[in-house]
């Protein structure tokens, strides 16, 4: 009976952690969206400067005003990058060089085959379910995977 209660407690604790991660991730995504809107406002202001300079038929476009908005955009882009890294960490993801998001524990990218760390290849496992598995190491593979996440074996061409 106490084993059951321990498992129940652990399940509730895990669910609470997952809910907290979801709330934090959603908050960060909202912040990213807000910063993206701020970037658009800066682009609009740059466009307004160009329009007014063309309207006055002056070939002079005030560089100092552009620079102010450019610096604001660069700062916002850097903040967005940092927020996206926090989101990836919360969701236990990492980004491959090919731009795909993968589980943080993946050792190979299933899309491009990039290796993330040295892997010890396990003996081939036999599976009887309908899911697809790597013929070399037995790691489950997704429908669009071209390379095994566990050992990097090329699954399809």
CA distances from 15 to 10, 28, 37 (A): 9, 20, 33
Answer yes or no: do 106 and 135 share one domain: yes
* Model pLDDT for residues 9-63, shown as the tens digit of each residue: 888 887 888 888 888 989 999 999 999 999 999 999 999 988 888 887 766 777 8
> Any idea what DSSP says for residue 90?
H
8 and 78 share one domain: yes
Contacts of 6 (CB under 8 A, 6+ apart): none
Written as six digits, the tokens of 132 are: 């697809």
Q: Are 29 and 61 members of one domain? A: yes
The domain boundary residue, chosen from 67, 91, 115: 91
Residues 6+ apart with CB under 8 A from 104: 92, 93, 94
Reported as a single tens digit per residue, the pLDDT across 99-149 is 888 888 888 888 998 888 644 445 444 444 445 788 888 888 887 888 888
Same domain, 12 and 82: yes
Same domain, 113 and 77: no
Q: Which of 39, 73, 91 is the last residue of a domain?
A: 91
Q: Which domain holds residue 12?
A: 2-91
Q: Are residues 80 and 113 in the same domain?
A: no
Beta strand residue intervals within 34-148, DSSP E: 93-95, 101-103, 132-133, 140-141
Residues 81 and 113 in one domain: no
| Residue 47, domain CATH | 1.10.287
Tell me, what's the pLDDT at 130?
A: 45
pTM score: 0.59
Same-domain check for residues 101 and 114: yes
Rounded distance between C-alpha atoms, residue 101 and residue 87, angstroms: 12
Is residue 95 pLDDT above 80, yes or no? yes
End position of a domain, from candidates 60, 91, 122: 91
114 shares its domain with 43: no
62 and 26 belong to one structural domain: yes
Question: CA angle at residue 74 from 56 to 89, to 5 degrees?
Answer: 150
Query: Do 106 and 46 reside in the same domain of the chain?
Result: no
Same domain, 6 and 55: yes
Residue 55 to residue 103: CA distance in whole angstroms: 52
For the chain, the domain total comes to 2
């Amino acid at each position: 009976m106490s084993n059951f209660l321990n498992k129940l407690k652990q399940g509730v604790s895990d669910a609470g952690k997952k809910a907290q991660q979801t709330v934090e991730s959603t908050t960060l995504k909202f912040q990213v969206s807000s910063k993206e809107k701020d970037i658009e406002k800066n682009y609009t202001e740059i466009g307004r400067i160009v329009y007014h300079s063309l309207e006055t038929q002056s070939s002079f476009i005030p560089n100092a005003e552009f620079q102010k908005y450019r610096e604001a955009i660069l700062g916002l882009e850097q903040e967005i990058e940092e927020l996206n890294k926090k989101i990836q960490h919360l969701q236990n993801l990492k980004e491959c060089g090919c731009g795909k998001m993968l589980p943080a524990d993946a050792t190979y990218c299933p899309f491009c085959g990039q290796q993330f760390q040295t892997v010890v290849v396990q003996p081939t496992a036999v599976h009887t379910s309908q899911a697809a598995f790597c013929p070399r190491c037995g790691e489950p593979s997704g429908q669009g995977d071209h390379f095994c996440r566990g050992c990097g074996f090329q699954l399809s061409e």
